[in-house]
Amino acid sequence: WPLAGTLLVAVAASMVAGGEDCLWYVDRNGSWHPGFDCEFFTFCCGTCHQRYCCRDPLRLLTERQQRHCLAF
C-alpha cells in the first residue's frame, strides 16, 4: 500500500502543478535559456541544466527547485 499512497500523492501533485512554468536557466555549456510556460495539465520537468514540459509527475521540477538551481 505504500506504493499506492506515493502514486496518489504524485497524481495529486501533477494536477495541482498543471501549468507550472519553467524559469530561465543556464545549460551545461553556459548558454542562457529564457523561461517558458507549460500548457494546462503539463508542468516543468528536467534538471537544473535542461528543462522541458511534460506530464510525468515523477519528473516534475517545481519553481522552488528551479530557484534552488539558480543559487548554485
Task: Spell out the residues 6+ positions from residue 49 whose beta carbon is closer than 8 angstroms to its own.
Answer: 25, 26, 27, 28
Quick: pLDDT tens for 9-48: 555 554 454 557 999 999 999 999 999 999 988 999 999 9
In this prediction the pTM is 0.69
